[in-house]
Amino acid sequence: MKNFARFANRGVLMNKIGSESVDQATASEQYQASVERHLSNDVGVSAENARAAEWQRAASMAARDKLAERWVKTQQEDTNNQERRAYYLSAEFLIGRAMSNALAALNLDKDFATEMKKVGAEAADVLESEPDAALGNGGLGRLAACFLDSLATLGVPSFGYGIRYEFGMFSQRIVDGKQIETPDNWLAFGNPWEFPRRDVFYPVQYGGWVDYVNGRPVWTPSERILARAYDMVIPGHSTERVTTLRLWKASALEELDLAAHTRGDYFRAAEARSKAENVSWVLYPDDSTPQGRELRLRQEYFFVTASLQDIVARHLREFGTLDNLHEKVAIQLNDTHPALSVPELMRLLMDDHGLTWEAAWYQVSRIISYTNHTLMPEAIETWPVGIMQYLLPRHLDIVYEINRRFLAEVERKFPGDKALLSRVSLIAEDGEKRVRMGNLSIVASTKVNGVAKLHSDLMVQTIFSDFAKIFPDRFTNVTNGVTPRRWLSQCNPGLAKLVDKKVKGNWRVELDKLSQLGKSAEDKAFHADLTKVKTANKERLAAYIKRELGITVDPNALFDIQVKRIHEYKRQLLNVLHVIQRYREMIANPEADWQPRVHIFAGKAASAYKMAKLIIRLIHDVARTVNNDPRLKDRLKVVFIPDYRVSVAEKIFPAADVSEQISTAGTEASGTGNMKFALNGALTVGTWDGANIEIAENVGLDNIFVFGLRTEEVEKLSQEGYNPRAWYEGNADLKAVLDMIGNGYFAPEEPTRYQPIVDTLLTRDQYFLLADFAAYVETHRQVDVAYRDREQWLTKVVRNIAGMGMFSSDRTIGEYCQRIWKIKTK
Ligand SMILES: *Cc1c(COP(=O)(O)O)cnc(C)c1O
């Protein structure tokens, strides 16, 4: 163990450098020694033979030890202080890798590379060998992960609660241009970050029936499994505070049916176990439409009941009474996935703890709040009453009683309005009876928030307008944010260093300080530094593209990037239409001085979403055609980067010149990818939608490219009767582009491959691509011109970064604390 020998020299070191850096040097060396100890004792390999993945496990365990110390201290503080805690319930946490973030939080990041080098390991390879924790689909899950980072950093007494999926978001492979999903076995080599809490488990019951004994309900379930706690410590930055992400794993009550085993019936012996464990087996690979039906409902109830039992048990431990539960507990529902919290908390309080309905409701309605993430009615969950009756009979009873009381209240306020009653009812009665989880969440909530100003306004004007009338004070806005630690400091160290030079104060935890960059907006030397950093980031991405796809792209070209889930409303297809139009123009006039561009796409399509998958295929066919056309002389390249996930996103955002945020106005609730791009110095091409609007307000309208129909115009066009074919006939370019797609130009081996795309565009075009096409193409002409004026462009870049202060998730969490949870922050 040659490396322990270094400690002998520490005295010499101390004489050489100041005391603070001695502490730092000591901390780094101690950490390194701990890594080597874990490598030998837990991973079981020698430093000489260890591979990157083995170093990674050892390094994680060593970091986890240090976080555990912080965890114990934080827990003790919170128990002593008895302040209100925030509980963030989310079916998804899209965390990504933990290692770099942990090292940064522990202030060990700077020396890590040097220390690893001394033992012959490459830090970059070690970090790259960590699998992503991908327990989420997209923006909603990533938001939850950013929130945990901010809860810890702000020191908010808090827990995140979710599901420890055995298989997270599927991995995406592309074969012949087609998406192939493969299971994400992220736990294959264990999870060095988690603490299994073997003494923390709760029963989870399903099915059976409800009897009324002396008027009191008694639920006799037909199935019982267990939820077991696994904790991940989430470190805060510039603080020793941490928060906890407690994830539940399903297990059987009895691991083994011994009687069956003794009979030799081994299949039966293991059956209960596999049936139980099935509940936390897979993440539903869909973030917009409810599906997977019964198992999904089982999952939702599973993590809700375990989390609530845990919260109640903690409260009783600390206070010995439930009388003040609502003063000490704030529960946030991330979308409706945890909406069963409403009847479940009622059930726990009444059936298990003897509260009256009135007393229980008083508490529940002061504890729970709900965040809405979509304006599309079809994307708000509903559950057939039949399934609820079968799986959760007691909860259905409670939902009916909440509804009875609520509708009576509405009838008192708005007498005789039958239509209103049926619209706001918790039960949809048209067709198959269903429970409306959005309505249920609203009725029980202290506050209901949207996630960007426009979205919150539209929420009360459209889908929830009836509720806004009934509960005028309940609705509010909290605009989303992203953590500047992961999304600037860690993913873009070059830019972070430039910011360090220009900005006084700790911008990593006070992002508002970025506004100081404003004074350097026209500083030529700063522009040169920024260009160097951006070019290096583009080279890094180009190398990744070369390695993954074998495609060569020029880091000096303009990088135009659209990365996000593939969805029709996000309009990747509009982007493709523009690329094809540009291609047409270039081959018509190949000698012109075209701005070289690389158009980069990435994103997963839900496995059952045919149209989204067809769009992925079209991108690949267009890429094949364009990338191999010698007339273009490499001035236009199209790249689809497979398997979009957090760790890939961290390579992509810093390399972007242009950020594509082109959803149909009124459809993207907020977006957070838009924020990550702008924070990393990309200029947005965007519609007047979601948080794009607030980004425009903060960076200045001159520094963003806004195009297309506004929400009111979309609405008006829709009411007048939108006829996409007329737009097609009326624009020769658009017609030519669609004809190329329809005629099989990009798929000569199967000319009808993209007929379904052309058909939907010409007959329905639900998302108004054709109406926005001309404005979009024109905007990109302006982008080309602007990009060539380097000083002007870089001034805009600086003004973008400088204006992003408010988009820190620290600001977002501060607002939740103040306006919704009533929790003081320092
Ligand atoms: C930020 C992020 C998202 C959300 O992107 P939008 O553009 O807001 O839809 C989705 N997936 C990953 C991996 C992200 O990092």
Residue 637 backbone dihedrals phi, psi, to 5 degrees: -130, 145
* Domain over 484-710+775-807 is classified CATH 3.40.50.2000: yes
pLDDT for the residue numbered 141: 98
Residue bearing the CA closest to ligand 1, atom 15: 646
pLDDT for the residue numbered 285: 75
Cα angle 570, 572, 574 (rounded to 5 degrees) comes to 100
Residue bearing the CA closest to ligand 1, atom 3: 139
Q: Cα separation of 739 and 752, whole Å? A: 11
Residue bearing the CA closest to ligand 1, atom 6: 673
CB contact burial 128-143 (16+ within 10 A = b; e otherwise): ebbbbbbbbbbbbbbb
Ligand 1 pocket test, pick from 93, 565, 658, 675 with the greatest ligand atom count within 8 Å of Cβ, gives: 565
Which ranges constitute the DSSP H helices of 39-98?
52-81
Residue bearing the CA closest to ligand 1, atom 5: 673
pLDDT for the residue numbered 808: 98
- The domain segmentation of the chain, as residue ranges, is 2-80+98-127, 155-380+439-480+813-821, 484-710+775-807
Q: Which of 145, 252, 194, 258 is nearest to 645 (CA)?
A: 145
Same fold, 155-380+439-480+813-821 and 484-710+775-807: yes
Q: Which of 469, 347, 355, 343 is nearest to 403 (CA)?
A: 343
Q: How far is the CA of 179 from the centre of ligand 1 (A)?
A: 19
**Phi-psi domain of 218 (left: phi exceeds 0; alpha: psi -120 through 50; beta: other):** beta
pLDDT for the residue numbered 5: 36
Q: Active site residue: 479, 672, 779, 795, which one? A: 672
Q: How far is the CA of 409 from the centre of ligand 1 (A)?
A: 41
Q: Which CATH architecture has domain 155-380+439-480+813-821?
A: 3-Layer(aba) Sandwich (3.40)
pLDDT for the residue numbered 24: 78
Q: Cα separation of 86 and 92, whole Å? A: 17
Q: How far is the CA of 523 from the centre of ligand 1 (A)?
A: 32
Q: Active site residue: 570, 578, 599, 796, which one? A: 570
Pocket of ligand 1 (CB under 6 A): 138-139, 142, 564, 644-646, 649, 671-673, 676
Residue bearing the CA closest to ligand 1, atom 8: 671
Residue 336: active-site member: no
Residue 373: active-site member: yes
Question: Relative to the CA of 670, which ligand 1 atom is closest?
Answer: 8
**Phi-psi domain of 40 (left: phi exceeds 0; alpha: psi -120 through 50; beta: other):** alpha
- CB contact at 8 A, 645 and 134: yes
pLDDT for the residue numbered 268: 76
Q: What is the dihedral of CA 559, 565, 566, 572, to 10 degrees?
A: -30
Q: Active site residue: 228, 347, 373, 635, which one? A: 373
Residue 676: active-site member: yes
Residue numbers of the chain with a pLDDT score lower than 70: 1-22, 255-256, 287-292
Q: Which of 667, 761, 655 is nearest to 709 (CA)?
A: 667
Ligand 1 pocket test, pick from 288, 672, 675, 676 with the greatest ligand atom count within 8 Å of Cβ, gives: 672
- CB contact at 8 A, 422 and 371: no
Helix (H) or strand (E) holding 501: helix 493-502
Q: How far is the CA of 564 from the centre of ligand 1 (A)?
A: 5
Q: How far is the CA of 191 from the centre of ligand 1 (A)?
A: 24
Strands (E) in 497-588, as ranges, are: 558-563
pLDDT for the residue numbered 287: 62
Q: Which residues pair with 196 in a beta bridge?
A: 230
- CB contact at 8 A, 299 and 282: no
Q: Cα separation of 407 and 410, whole Å? A: 5
Question: Relative to the CA of 96, which ligand 1 atom is closest?
Answer: 13
Q: How far is the CA of 663 from the centre of ligand 1 (A)?
A: 14
Q: How far is the CA of 478 from the centre of ligand 1 (A)?
A: 18
Question: Relative to the CA of 644, which ligand 1 atom is closest?
Answer: 13
